[in-house]
A and B are shown apart, each in its own frame.
Chain A
Amino acid sequence: MTIALGFLAIILATLLGWLLKQTFNAEPWEAAVVSDTAHYGPFGADRSKLIALLGLMAVVSSFFALILSAYALRMELGDWVPMTEPQLLWTNTVMLIVASGALQWTRNAAVNDQQGRLRPGLLITGVLTLGFVLGQFIAWQQLQNSGQFITSNPANGFFYFLTGAHAVHILGGLYVWARATLKVVLGTGDATTTRRSIELCTIYWHFLLLVWLVLFGLLLST
């Protein structure tokens, strides 16, 4: 459970640091004029979605950190047989990295108001990300064909569980991506909302890429 605890310590320390800044030295029983910015969070009054996204990322991280803790605990038991990961995972990883890069490029275009780049940027991101999910599915098929089923060994069980859970989170991201892309393609939605949507998608994509790199690294090394 050390992994989960370490992760939690980071989250709680961040939160605690921010809370300390807000609350230290405050003497609320004294009459005081407070600043106009004291009644909303750290990113400004209109960044509620960003806060919610960060919250969601904390929840998702907690979810994966706990699976990794379980992984580490289960691995110590006698019947664990390390698994050879399909080579295809490397291709998938590259696709996800490029997808993340493409989205970053799109985001920069949105910030610099280069509207023409949004459509291709978003489409490339979507195609590559879908490609990643499809690739993961094909990797599953390859494993099945070589007789490596989910029940074959706990290492296999965790492989299917981790990759599946990650893919589900990607699909959730693709739903939001589809909404943003639809807005861009149909030309509905003003520039600010679109930019904000793309920015949030970008953060989430980088986050899921990071999660994947951690998972992939762990799968490769064990």
Chain B
Amino acid sequence: MSYVAYADRDHEQEHHDPDTFITKYIWSQDHKVIAIQYGITAIFVGLIALGLSAMMRLQLGFPDEFSFINPENYYQFITMHGMIMVIYLLTALFLGGFGNYLIPLMCGSRDMVFPFMNMLSYWVYLLSVIVLIISFFVPGGSTGAGWTLYPPQAISPGTPGIDLGILLMLGSLALFIVAFTMGGLNYVTTVLQARCKGMTLMRMPLSVWGIFIATILGLLAFPALLVSAIMMLFDKLLHTSFFMPAISVMGMDPGYSGGSPILFQHLFWFFGHPEVYIVALPAFGIVSDLISTHARKNIFGYRMMIWAIIMIGGLSFIVWAHHMYVSGMNPYFGFFFATTTLIIAVPTAIKVYNWVLTLWEGNIHLRVPMLFSIGFIFTFIHGGLTGLFLGNVTIDLPLSDTYFVVAHFHMVMGVSPVLVVFGAIYHWWPKITGRMYNETLGKWHFWMTFLGTYAIYLPMHYLGFAGVPRRYFAMGNTDFLPDSAQDLNAAITMSALFVAATQILFFVNMIWSLKKGPKSDPNPWDATTLEWQTPDHPPKHGNWGHELPEVHRWAYDYSVPGYADDFIPQNVSADEAPAGRDHEGEH
């Protein structure tokens, strides 16, 4: 691989800038272009998943009103909505999108260490998305096994898409994991090897820390999904009995013997729980930087924040069975996993306190990215607190598989990371495109999304308490539920449709900005991190022109006493800082 040395190269200008449309925008090896490719693809599939959720809500809010939604479709919508949102949207967008864009720029590198592998990573990801989309159109349709794909029902008659649907799903996941591994090894190596001079690990912005640790989690956890996918493929195609027990299906013997569905659950959640943090940690990191920048204040407890990220990452591997309390596990195991789950609340709470303490007496600018960040703190606290309920075995048992769970995980790993995604897009949009968006429209987008999602998910907690089970197509005659539960469902559906429609504001704003938005300053937020200090705006191929930057300080020198400006960029040395007072001993 002759590309390797590229990121290490310093002052040489021998690299050839891509000049044709194809090498610049299609087969590009530039991390910024790849990031945008990842971002657009992820948002595109995310919109499909949003559409699927609207269909589900139509059925739940107004049962039997829509003839085109039948039970089979409904299960397919549920499955694909969950799978796309968690893996193909959030994982891909945070790591493939933001990871790709931010790591080299924030670390002061010219590109990822292995640009060719980076390009390959995107194209394999795109292939996995294409395979996923094809599964909608094959005979039998996509799989309807739920995003957890539990056997035996995932490959047994009665579930939609047990032929090509599930095969394409598993194949697509395998491709995604290959793509992620190529990308992930790149991100880790780039963070470790390609930082510019002076950029120690402890001077890195928290965004990079979050993405870095999340990538390590992904690299170690995705193999569990791969193993379970391969073994399920064997069970489906070759009739092995890894997971499939001896069962009779519709009076027929499908020929399986003695396999363990619980084994699948262990493998799946060994991946599935770290996956929550693969999505959350980049969000934690990014939101820390957004809050610090827009509050003009250094992040409170920087070192604590890093160690909280690391601790959450480590602990996330020993909590997986809290997803399986109802699987009939040994009570001592349940106790163990409940304990580890509650322990993980400690570093998480530290992070929340630190965000709030960063805001405390800060010079808060309520710009759009800041609104989304503060919104995230709200939704994350709410989702986190319900996690404490569900982490306890005794509380989880009655609430398991009710709408309380749906409300919890949508709040904590649906709405929260998505708010950060929006905040991050609004924050870095001027750097990516060189243009500003309409601030007013952005604020409308925030308030309608934020309040709208509360209108969706807060009532779901009550539905859960009332005992409404999740994943049901229709409730039928259920005496224990009052009629008002249906009214609430109708209201939730209206809110969901409203929030979905609101997202048009975002796209209108961004498309308008691309065409007619005013040109932005190179550093419109007066931020300290390196990506705002590039010689070109937006940064060109190679990022830094002739010379790599040199870092002299950490990423959070905001409102340092004694300086003219309220920020000092990372690449400004003590001698160069405006107002000229000695930097040392100023804190």
Residues on A lying within 8 angstroms of B by beta carbon are 1, 4-5, 8, 11-12, 15-16, 19, 22-23, 26, 28-31, 34, 36, 38-41, 45-49, 51-52, 55-56, 58-59, 62-63, 66-67, 69-70, 73-74, 77-79, 150-151, 154, 157, 161, 165
Known A63-B227, A154-B242: A28·B193 in contact at CB below 8 Å: no
How many interface residues does chain B have, given as a range? 35 or more
Task: Give chain A nearest CB distance to B2 CB in angstroms.
Answer: 9
CB-defined contacts of A16 to chain B, threshold 8 Å: 310, 314
Contact yes or no, A59 B220, CB < 8 A: yes
Q: Could you give 8 example pairs across A and B, Cβ below 8 Å?
A: A15-B216, A23-B306, A40-B192, A40-B193, A41-B189, A48-B193, A55-B189, A73-B260
Question: B226 at interface (Cβ–Cβ under 8 A)?
Answer: yes
Contact yes or no, A29 B192, CB < 8 A: no
CB-defined contacts of B200 to chain A, threshold 8 Å: 22, 26, 28, 34, 38-39
CB-defined contacts of A63 to chain B, threshold 8 Å: 223, 226-227
**What CA separation (Å) do A41 and B8 show in the bound complex?**
12
**What CA separation (Å) do A191 and B192 show in the bound complex?**
26
Task: Give chain B nearest CB distance to A71 CB in angstroms.
Answer: 10
In the complex formed, the residue of A with least CB distance to B318 is: A5
Question: B368 at interface (Cβ–Cβ under 8 A)?
Answer: no
CB-defined contacts of B481 to chain A, threshold 8 Å: none
- Name the contact of B195 in the complex, choosing from A26, A39, A78, A165 (C-beta under 8 A): A39
Contact yes or no, A77 B8, CB < 8 A: no
Contact yes or no, A11 B220, CB < 8 A: yes
- Name the contact of A66 in the complex, choosing from B4, B114, B227, B242 (C-beta under 8 A): B227
CB-defined contacts of A41 to chain B, threshold 8 Å: 189, 192-193
Contact yes or no, A157 B223, CB < 8 A: no
Contact yes or no, A51 B189, CB < 8 A: yes
Question: In terms of DSSP, what is the predominant structure of the interface of chain A?
Answer: helix
B264-286 contacts to A, CB under 8 A, are 266-267, 270
Task: Give chain B nearest CB distance to A118 CB in angstroms.
Answer: 20
4 nearest interchain CB pairs? A79-B258, A41-B192, A28-B554, A63-B223
Contact yes or no, A74 B260, CB < 8 A: yes
Contact yes or no, B197 A36, CB < 8 A: yes
Question: B37 at interface (Cβ–Cβ under 8 A)?
Answer: no
Question: B323 at interface (Cβ–Cβ under 8 A)?
Answer: no
CB-defined contacts of A15 to chain B, threshold 8 Å: 216
Contact yes or no, A74 B224, CB < 8 A: no
**What CA separation (Å) do A1 and B552 show in the bound complex?**
45
Task: Give chain B nearest CB distance to A63 CB in angstroms.
Answer: 4
Known A157-B240, A161-B234: A73·B263 in contact at CB below 8 Å: yes
Question: B298 at interface (Cβ–Cβ under 8 A)?
Answer: yes
Known A8-B220, A31-B584, A52-B185: A70·B193 in contact at CB below 8 Å: no
CB-defined contacts of B317 to chain A, threshold 8 Å: 5, 8, 12
Task: Give chain B nearest CB distance to A215 CB in angstroms.
Answer: 14
In the complex formed, the residue of B with least CB distance to A53 is: B185
* B197-225 interface code vs A (CB 8 A; 1 in, 0 out): 11111110000000000001001110110
Task: Give chain B nearest CB distance to A4 CB in angstroms.
Answer: 7
Task: Give chain B nearest CB distance to A94 CB in angstroms.
Answer: 29
